Amino acid sequence: MIANQILGQNERELDEKSEYLVLSFSPLSAPIRSRWRNNGLSADFLGDFVTTFFSAEGDLTDASAHQKEIKHAVTYIANEFLENAMKYHERDVDIPIAIRLELTGTQITITASNGVGAEQADRYKAFVATILSSDAGDLLVRQLEESSMGTAPNASGLGLLTMINDYGVRLGWQFEGNPRYPGFLVVTTSAVLLPGPGTGVAK
């Protein structure tokens, strides 16, 4: 029996109204090469979608610069999440790869989930433990140095570190057993963006 596990930031404001959009892909339906282009299209779509919730209040120049920042952050995060999910999902089980964009009055949350085998889950948990116990900026520079020597143990971790370091994102993780597929887990990674006052998302 695999115990469910929650790591990092996973707070939810349950009382708040939210709006959300979910894209879901079957891991069995197409090889990763032909799927890769879809990551960019989906990420661009989520980035464009989030802009429809911006209010037109405030100074237009500042507002549009700020909106551009949020749009890009959403696109970047969604793209990294999808790339990681496509790379690491377990191909032998029909656990969908899903990405969800959720907006409340105060925050934007992007969540990705996919199925993994127990070994891959353990590797990911170990990396999460490193992230939670380190300074993201220092760890990012260290990973970049190591990657240049070809010794980076987890190249995909760089996407998560840039989210924290460059975009001020708070990350959270959840590992859950799946009753249909014993021995496999569903890993969910969430990124919370706090767009700041006056953004007016999901009013």
Partner 1 sequence: MKTITGESFEIRMEDNHSAVFFKGALRLSGVTDYLPILELLKETLVNPTNPVVLDLKELDFLNSSGITMLSRFVIEARDQAGINLYLIASESIVWHARSLKNLQRLMPALVIHLT
Task: Give the interface with partner 1 as residue ranges (CB under 8 A).
Answer: 32, 36-37, 39-40, 68-69, 72-73, 75-76, 79-80, 83, 87, 137, 140-141, 144-145, 147-148, 155-156, 158-159, 162, 165-167
Question: How far is Cα 45 from Cα 71, in angstroms, rounded to an integer?
Answer: 10
Shortest Å distance, C-beta 72 to partner 1: 4
Shortest Å distance, C-beta 89 to partner 1: 14
Whichever of 54 and 76 has its CB closer to partner 1, that residue is 76
Whichever of 47 and 172 has its CB closer to partner 1, that residue is 47
Question: How far is Cα 127 from Cα 121, in angstroms, rounded to an integer?
Answer: 10
Whichever of 83 and 184 has its CB closer to partner 1, that residue is 83
Question: How far is Cα 179 from Cα 85, in angstroms, rounded to an integer?
Answer: 20
CA distances from 189 to 9, 49, 98, 182 (A): 10, 20, 11, 21
Whichever of 71 and 184 has its CB closer to partner 1, that residue is 71
Shortest Å distance, C-beta 3 to partner 1: 31
Whichever of 83 and 185 has its CB closer to partner 1, that residue is 83
Helix axes 157-167, 118-132, angle to 10 degrees: 30
Shortest Å distance, C-beta 153 to partner 1: 13
SS3 at position 100: strand
CA distances from 107 to 61, 86, 110 (A): 22, 26, 10
Question: How far is Cα 192 from Cα 185, in angstroms, rounded to an integer?
Answer: 23
Shortest Å distance, C-beta 52 to partner 1: 19
